[in-house]
Amino acid sequence: MKINLLIENAKAITMAGEKAARWGQAQGEVGYLEGATIALAGDRIAYVGKSPLPEEFSVDEDTIKIDARGKLVTPGLIDAHTHLVHGGSREHEFKLKLEGVDYLDILAQGGGIHSTVKATREASFEVLYDKAKKSLDIMLGFGVTTVEAKSGYGIGDFATEIKQMEVAKRLDQDHVVDLVSTFMGAHAVPKDYADRPDDFVDVLIEEMLPYVVENKLADFNDVFCEEGVFTVDQSRRILLAGKELGLLPKVHADEIVQLGGGELAAEVGAISAEHLMAVSDQGIEDLAEKKVVAVLLPGTSFNMQKNVAAPARKMIEKGVPIAISTDYNPGSCPSENLQFMMSLASLMLKMTPEEVITAVTINAAAAIGRQEDRGSIEVGKKADIAIFDVASLEYMLYHFGINHTDTVIKNGKIVYRK
Ligand code: IZC
Ligand code: ZN
């Protein structure tokens, strides 16, 4: 077999093992391989090991060689929760937040998500595409090779919702980063439905969900289950209706107010429950029992400035698999920097660096149903690899706020170099 790219002298965190999310103690057991050779053929990983490359693999003058001595090699990072495609920004809310005005109060007064809905509606396909592409380039630079992208800024205006998903679809084709699409029509109640939200739930279920499925616009269906947004009962209806059509549920659960979103995610068989800053003990028990991946977003906790963080240690103790993502969005977390979120996961959620790297690789893959072909450095998986200019994982998280990326490899090709 011909090798296109050979990484030598690597200190690698392979995450090799079962092709599934890790929980409990296993979340922190990552498996270092020192002095490793990693060989890539086409878009796949062909060999990983400590010995010299076995003879069945051929290396010639076309083979690109990377000497990774002194650097850290990991699977390409995965950002499993973003609101990538949107128009405009919300820096006008920054001052309000510093004055102590609540995120949900801004939303209730018609700002927040509604202001991004307006900006997204007014933006053309091209404008949304260019803006999202810029963000994807930034993410790639941070070592991210797969990104989940939610719609949700069209809400009542279905054409805008579709435009967002079409942009994500096009970017998945055009950009080296892979995109996984989530329909989030239930991100806020449109203003015209403010006094009859159940009618909007009917529209979502009867008109929007079938269209999304027929046109293959998304893999997942997400709901903002939150006080003043969608109730647990409304969320359940929307998630079960989507599931019946083949869209796996995801839930923005117990982000700000404890409504029972964690319990709901487990009940409807969600692939993931996101945020969980206010999750109940019962919610944690239920997520652990069903092995729903908890996608925690410490950048949002940090940016909300309320000194509340998701109870990650309790989740790990109870056996909930944890992923860490950016939540990149124009309101609660305007940052694409997953490496910063990794530091915050240690500093704010008290996760060990090993638990954190699991959370942005194999567990993040599991949160978007891609654990079979990515999230670890193993023979047969996609050749998506990040190389960081750090001697250790501890150093990477400790030296926070900067970009440690040296090289990013996607589908077996070098796509970013410092
Ligand atoms: O635009 O505010 N939490 N949805 C739920 C968001 C944050 C995104 C936003
Ligand atoms: Zn979100």
Q: Which of 96, 256, 326, 329 for a ligand 1 pocket mutation test, highest count of atoms within 8 Å of Cβ?
A: 329
Distance CA 67, CA 278 (A): 45
For residues 39 and 184, state if they share a domain. no
Q: Looking at ligand 1, which residue's alpha carbon is closest to its atom 9?
A: 331
Total domains in the fold of the chain: 2
Share of the chain above pLDDT 90, in %: 98
User: For 108-143, how does the pLDDT look when each residue is reduced to its tens digit (9 = 90+)?
Assistant: 999 999 999 999 999 999 999 999 999 999 999 999
Distance of CA 157 to the CA centre of its chain: 25
For the CA atoms of 368, 358, 145, 298, what is the dihedral angle to 10 degrees? 80
Reduced to 3 states (helix: H, G, I; strand: E, B; else coil), residue 359 is: helix
For residues 386 and 274, state if they share a domain. no
Return the pLDDT at 51.
Answer: 79
**How close is the Cα of 332 to the center of ligand 1, in Å?**
6
> Which atom of ligand 1 lies at the shortest distance from residue 153's CA?
1
Task: Select from 367, 391, 409 the last residue of a domain.
Answer: 367
For residues 335 and 402, state if they share a domain. no
Distance CA 365, CA 377 (A): 13
Q: What angle do CA 282, 286, 292 make, to 5 degrees?
A: 135
For residues 58 and 89, state if they share a domain. no
For residues 106 and 19, state if they share a domain. no
**Mean pLDDT across 149-157:** 96
> Which atom of ligand 1 lies at the shortest distance from residue 331's CA?
2
H-helix or E-strand spanning residue 74: strand 72-75
For residues 222 and 315, state if they share a domain. yes
Task: Select from 367, 394, 409 the last residue of a domain.
Answer: 367
For residues 94 and 65, state if they share a domain. no
User: What pTM value is reported for the model?
Assistant: 0.98
**How close is the Cα of 241 to the center of ligand 1, in Å?**
23
User: For 318-365, how does the pLDDT look when each residue is reduced to its tens digit (9 = 90+)?
Assistant: 999 999 999 999 999 999 999 999 999 999 999 999 999 999 999 999
Asked whether residue 306 carries a pLDDT value surpassing 90, the answer given is: no
Average pLDDT across the chain, whole number: 97
Q: Write the CB contacts of 280 (distance below 8 Å, at least 6 apart in sequence).
A: 254, 258, 260, 262, 263
> Which atom of ligand 1 lies at the shortest distance from residue 275's CA?
3
> Which atom of ligand 1 lies at the shortest distance from residue 83's CA?
8
For residues 171 and 149, state if they share a domain. yes
> Which atom of ligand 1 lies at the shortest distance from residue 86's CA?
1
Ligand 1 pocket (Cβ < 6 Å) reads 83, 112-113, 116, 224, 252, 255, 329-332
**How close is the Cα of 55 to the center of ligand 2, in Å?**
48
Return the pLDDT at 165.
Answer: 98
For residues 151 and 19, state if they share a domain. no
- pLDDT range class, residue 415, cuts 50, 70, 90: very high
| Tokens standing for residue 390 | 């750090």
**Mean pLDDT across 313-317:** 98
**Mean pLDDT across 26-43:** 95
**How close is the Cα of 390 to the center of ligand 2, in Å?**
30
Ligand closest in space to the Cα of 273:
2
- pLDDT range class, residue 9, cuts 50, 70, 90: very high
User: For 167-217, how does the pLDDT look when each residue is reduced to its tens digit (9 = 90+)?
Assistant: 999 999 999 999 999 999 999 999 999 999 999 999 999 999 999 999 999
User: For 203-232, how does the pLDDT look when each residue is reduced to its tens digit (9 = 90+)?
Assistant: 999 999 999 999 999 999 999 999 999 999
- pLDDT range class, residue 144, cuts 50, 70, 90: very high
**Mean pLDDT across 89-97:** 95
Return the pLDDT at 232.
Answer: 98
CATH of the domain at 58: 2.30.40.10
For residues 250 and 395, state if they share a domain. no
Range of the domain at 17: 5-76+376-417
Return the pLDDT at 107.
Answer: 94
**How close is the Cα of 329 to the center of ligand 1, in Å?**
6
For residues 206 and 318, state if they share a domain. yes
Asked whether residue 148 carries a pLDDT value surpassing 90, the answer given is: yes
CATH of the domain at 226: 3.20.20.140
**Mean pLDDT across 42-66:** 94
For residues 381 and 355, state if they share a domain. no
**Mean pLDDT across 248-272:** 98
Asked whether residue 386 carries a pLDDT value surpassing 90, the answer given is: yes
3-state secondary structure string, the chain? CECCEEEEEEEEECCCCCCCCCCHHHHHCCCEEEEEEEEEECCEEEEEECCCCCCCCECCCCCEEEECCCCEEEECEEECCCCCCCCCCCCHHHHHHHCCCCHHHHHHCCCCHHHHHHHHHHCCHHHHHHHHHHHHHHHHHCCEEEEEEECCCCCCCHHHHHHHHHHHHHHHHHCCCEEEEEEEEECCCCHHHCCCHHHHHHHHHHHHHHHHHHCCCCCEEEEEECCCCECHHHHHHHHHHHHHCCCEEEEEECCCCCCCHHHHHHHCCCCEEEECCCCCHHHHHHHHHHCCEEEECHHHHHHHCCCCCCCHHHHHHHCCCEEECCCCCCCCCCCCCHHHHHHHHHHHHCCCHHHHHHHCCHHHHHHCCCCCCCCCCCCCCECCEEEECCCCHHHHHHCCCCCCEEEEEECCEEEEEC
Distance CA 286, CA 338 (A): 28
Asked whether residue 52 carries a pLDDT value surpassing 90, the answer given is: no
